[in-house]
Amino acid sequence: MIKSMTGFGRGEYSDGKRMITAEIKTVNHRYSDVSVKMPRRYSFAEERIKAAAKKSMKRGKAEISIIVENVTEDDMTVKLNALLAKQYIDALRELQDTYGLGGDIDIELVSTMPDVMRAIPDVENEDEVAEAMEKAVLAAAEKLDEMRAQEGGKLAEDLLMRGEFIRALVRKIEERAPMVVKDYTERLCERIRELTEDAVDVSDERILMEAAVFADKSNITEELVRLDSHMVQLKQILTSETSPVGKKLDFLVQEMNREANTIGSKSNDLEITSLMLETKSEIEKIREQVQNIE
């Protein structure tokens, strides 16, 4: 099954203490690159989250977002920042002394100062939290995989269509190729007659020798066979192999371009040149699409 490298998946998991939401967004990338965005206090679970995501992603750039909410009271710890509280008290006293202000600096006032008292999730059981996050990520990865497979199917259909179109162009070139030498020979004879005004008798043997040299230089039979073979291989990869095949297709497209360029450089015929320009245009479209395949 061919998979696209682009997609989105969302998964949720609740272990009774916390609700975890994981979102995965993937885009094209030459290698596998996974990054995680989540509250800093859960950073201990980052590598486990990456490993979970990579189970179904072999290539591409993935951004994973983790949201933790609905934390129960039993899963909360109240933290006192004593040093910060002392700084607030000292600052308030300095404010009183400087400006002669009245009022009491009591517990009610100090406890409401920012960050003096904070309720934060209790993550003493890191394995438990990491396992819950992993399950949310796997759920998101499953949804992501469905989207990538669906998109991959569409890409495969498009590539198969273009491959068959190129094979049809190759057949047209094969039909035209034998006529190129014949046309060249006729043009050569006509040109000689124009230049010599029939004053010089050029032997048929000499003309045939020139035609043979031209035929050897412009022979594109091997290149056409290889290009057609590449299209057959493209179909085999798209219909019989499982992802990841992106790198293999990258290499195959390079070989397609190599044969197309050779045919174009050897061709000395307007019709074949026109067909090759069309072929190279289709190969370029294949190359662009292949960049999206895992």
pLDDT value, residue 181: 61
Q: Which helix (H) or strand (E) holds 293?
A: none
Six-digit token string for 137: 């990520």
pLDDT value, residue 195: 59
CA distance 51 to 25: 16
CA distance 35 to 107: 43
Q: Which of 143-152, 233-242, 267-276 has the highest mean pLDDT?
A: 143-152
Instruction: Give residue 104's pLDDT band: very low, low, confident or very high (50, 70, 90).
Output: confident
Tokens 């219909």, located at residue: 239
Domain boundaries, the chain: 7-71+126-148, 82-115, 150-290
Residue 216 has pLDDT above 70, yes or no: no
CA distance 273 to 38: 56
Residue 86 has pLDDT above 70, yes or no: yes
Instruction: Give residue 139's pLDDT band: very low, low, confident or very high (50, 70, 90).
Output: very high
Residue 127 has pLDDT above 80, yes or no: yes
Residue 121 has pLDDT above 60, yes or no: yes
Contact by Cβ (8 Å): 137, 23: no
25/59: higher pLDDT:
25
**What is each CA distance from 111 to 76, 93, 121, in whole angstroms?**
18, 16, 19
152: left (phi over 0), alpha (psi -120 to 50) or beta: alpha
Q: Give me the phi and psi of 100, to 5 degrees please.
A: 65, 40
Residue 57 has pLDDT above 90, yes or no: no
Instruction: Give residue 269's pLDDT band: very low, low, confident or very high (50, 70, 90).
Output: confident
Q: What is the mean pLDDT of residues 257-278?
A: 88
Contact by Cβ (8 Å): 99, 61: no
Residue 188 has pLDDT above 60, yes or no: no
DSSP-assigned states of every residue in 141-162: HHHHHHHHHHHHHHHHHHHHHH
Six-digit token string for 203: 């032997």
Q: What percent of the chain has pLDDT over 70?
A: 83
Q: What is the mean pLDDT of residues 89-109?
A: 89
Residue 220 amino acid letter = I
Please state which CATH number belongs to domain 7-71+126-148. 3.30.230.70
Instruction: With H, G, I as helix, E, B as strand and everything else as coil, classify residue 230.
Output: helix
39/232: higher pLDDT:
232
Q: Which of 43, 57, 17 is nearest to 130 (CA)?
A: 43
74-79 long-range contacts, Cβ below 8 Å, gap at least 24? 74/17, 75/17, 75/18, 75/121, 75/122, 76/119, 76/120, 76/121, 76/122, 77/119, 77/120, 77/121, 77/122, 78/117, 78/118, 78/119, 79/117, 79/118, 79/119, 79/120
pLDDT value, residue 264: 85
Which residue stretches of the chain are H helix? 46-54, 82-99, 107-111, 126-196, 204-217, 221-240, 246-266, 270-290
Does the global pTM surpass 0.85?
Answer: no
